[in-house]
Structure 1
Amino acid sequence: MMKVLDKPASLANILPPVILGGAGFSYQVYPDPNISQVRQVLQHAFDLGMRAIDTSSYYEPSEQLLGQALSESVFSKRYPRDKYILMTKVGRIAPDRFDYSPSWVQFSVNRSLERLHTSYLDVVFCHDIEYVTEEAALEAIGALLEMVREGKVRYIGASSYRIDLLLRLARSVLERYDRPLDVVQNWAQMTLQNNRLETDGLAGFRDLGVSCVCNASPLTLGLLRSGGVPVGSLGDFHPAPAGLRAAAHRAAEYVTIQGKSLAALALRYAIWRAHVASSTSDFQVSTITGISSINELVENMSAVNQILQSPLRCYDGSPINLDQVERDIPLWNKIQDILGTWLNFSFTSPEENWDVEQQRMIKPKL
């Protein structure tokens, strides 16, 4: 059994409740990601107190733009590297291309270090593990542990939409490497539309020694907002079927008539549930909110500050704003009533006919 060197302090004592999502600087969700956009958002986010960024080598060109902005002297002198957390991912290269081999993991981490202009990464996730075999994911984790020993990576994790596969991998990592995953990332399942992460995942992750869970896409990849899902230069990639989109549109129309914002309500709901789950200092649920513009940043942080008194520091037991929760509960309930049968609807991941052994789509047998 492989042994690893002592790891740093628990990530639950370091990671803040709210994290800036770097997917907003990608072609997937933004038509023209550029350095001016990233520079403005990053500067304003840090001025507001944000100190953690989550991105991926798959979110082209997020890493390159973030690295350029973070390394510019006007920024780096004010915010040196040890004052913020950088998280990225390995393994997913394109929508239908994956490489979890140890050689690729090593290459990808070193490339991310170069792109982000840093000597170390705080967290590296294996990206979308449902598209590969469990053995491939375990080998990738082993490669990341080597890089932990080299001082290039501090904490290791895995990301997936599939809660069951994240739980299975967390158990296998504990058995094979005699240490837990530090963190897992799940998306769109601690939201107003789907709360399966809370009901089906958190207790299991905690029992397996995972100290942090990142809840990404609290707006269900932009579904829970007015104006429809975000569409970048790569087209509409959102997995929501027409019926769910229509229900979300009806919910947005309803809350707009009430003078409220569906996006703000959805974000406050996710942060409230994450706070409830972060009941002790050894287990933290953090919310990753993707931001593409200054307007989105201001709107999101306004919603965050309305419900969480200390949203940008690591867990310290600060209370939730219960008055805001009481005001939001009737609207949350109404939104879920409007969603109706689409409440807790889950997407198919990986897509039907994806073969994890061959890591490609295969033709169905007739």
Structure 2
Amino acid sequence: MRTMKLGTSTLEVPVVSVGCMRINSLEKTEAERFVQTALDLGANFFDHADIYGGGSCEEIFAEAIHMNDDIREKIILQSKCGIRKRMFDFSKEHILESVDGSLKRLHTDYLDVLLLHRPDALVEPEEVAEAFDILERSGKVRHFGVSNQNPMQIELLKKSVKQPLVANQLQLSITNANMISNGFNVNMENEAAVNRDGSILDYCRLNDITIQPWSPFQYGFFEGVFLGNEKFPELNQKIDEIAEKYQVNNTTIAIAWLLRHPAHMQPVIGTMNVGRLKDCCKASDISLTREEWYEIFRAAGNVLP
């Protein structure tokens, strides 16, 4: 598995992150096989959140990987906090409690990366900074980042937070690519010109913040996958055509499309299927041409001006 630096940190990570949101859907032996396959493929970056499965996903993962000191040295753990029932919470108390809960469930003393999960309208940057300082000094968290945040929300945090924010987890796929398409339509009077995220793609590139695309196979907001979907005939025809050229399947090409972008993104894959996991990881070895990248982009219905 090809690796990259996460943001401005020295942390070397695989270019594909293994999302564990659905690991509670697996039987014990299936979960063990899944995480072992990921390790064998070099996909040793595992993405969690305190709310996944009500916390059970972190527990199941720790059991499946047979967590111990030797295993811990070989993996990279990322978790997220800040989402509570019917509200968001970036208070100092909640952040500290959430991290302690994740550490307990994951059977570890530290997280490699902690992300703030979704923007909290009542955020007080000073409280976040206090929490991050405590977590860093205690060794409980080594690197910090955000998720689903726009540039000004990040800048607001940076007003008080001294630690570099190394990652921003954002929804992005071939069919959900507004952060890319609005860059082609500057000062134009069409739907694609609407800037819904404050130019977050350019902001992250300028500030060396790694974008971690989530739901890389979904269209809409969890409406379904676009691969093999009759709603996207032209897109699937083009992806299949390119997949045949590289002798891989459509899953591999969908991830390779994200990896081809010069922002050096780290897609978070959510599959719990061992075969699809392998297909996703194969994307690490493929570099689409400029022509192929744009062909896929246009086939998804994106119109160049």
Matches within 5 A, 1:252-331: 252=236, 255=239, 261-273=249-261, 276-278=262-264, 285-305=265-285, 307=286, 321=287, 324-325=288-289, 328-329=292-293, 331=295
What does residue 152 of structure 2 align with?
A: 168
SS of equivalent to 1:103: helix
CA distance in 2, matches of 1:192, 1:292: 22
CA distance in 2, matches of 1:80, 1:146: 26
What does residue 352 of structure 1 align with?
A: none
Deviations 1:256-302 (A, max 9, x none): 588765433321101111xx224xxxxxx322222211121122123
- AA at the equivalent of 1:251: L
Deviations 1:29-84 (A, max 9, x none): xxx33332321111011011112111111111321111112235xxx58x531222
CA distance in 2, matches of 1:254, 1:286: 23
CA distance in 1, matches of 2:125, 2:233: 37
Which structure 2 segments of 5+ residues have no match? 1-6, 184-198
Check if 1:54 corresponds to 2:47: yes
What does residue 179 of structure 2 align with?
A: 196
CA distance in 2, matches of 1:45, 1:287: 15
What does residue 171 of structure 2 align with?
A: 187
SS of equivalent to 1:38: helix
CA distance in 2, matches of 1:216, 1:56: 13
Matches within 5 A, 1:50-199: 50-60=43-53, 61-72=56-67, 76=68, 80-94=71-85, 96-129=86-119, 132-133=120-121, 135-136=123-124, 139-160=127-148, 165-188=149-172, 191-196=174-179, 199=183
Q: Per-residue deviation at 1:10?
A: 4.1
Residues 193, 38 of structure 1: alpha-carbon distance in 2 compared, 3 angstrom cutoff? same
Q: Per-residue deviation at 1:104?
A: 1.9
Q: Per-residue deviation at 1:134?
A: 5.4
Which structure 1 segments of 5+ residues have no match? 1-8, 27-31, 228-245, 279-284, 308-320, 344-366
CA distance in 2, matches of 1:70, 1:149: 28
What does residue 33 of structure 2 align with?
A: 40
After superposition, the CA RMSD in angstroms is: 3.2
Check if 1:335 corresponds to 2:286: no
- AA at the equivalent of 2:82: G
SS of equivalent to 2:13: coil
Residues 152, 253 of structure 1: alpha-carbon distance in 2 compared, 3 angstrom cutoff? same
What does residue 312 of structure 1 align with?
A: none
Residues 138, 24 of structure 1: alpha-carbon distance in 2 compared, 3 angstrom cutoff? farther
Contact 1:181 1:210 in 2 (8 A): no
CA distance in 1, matches of 2:294, 2:136: 47
Q: Per-residue deviation at 1:178?
A: 4.1
What does residue 18 of structure 2 align with?
A: 20
Number of residue pairs matched by the alignment: 273
- AA at the equivalent of 1:297: L
CA distance in 2, matches of 1:90, 1:205: 21
Residues 134, 197 of structure 1: alpha-carbon distance in 2 compared, 3 angstrom cutoff? farther
What does residue 11 of structure 1 align with?
A: 9
What does residue 217 of structure 1 align with?
A: 215
What does residue 189 of structure 2 align with?
A: none
- AA at the equivalent of 1:332: I
Q: Per-residue deviation at 1:195?
A: 4.9
Contact 2:43 2:281 in 1 (8 A): no
- AA at the equivalent of 1:304: S
- AA at the equivalent of 1:46: L
SS of equivalent to 1:182: strand
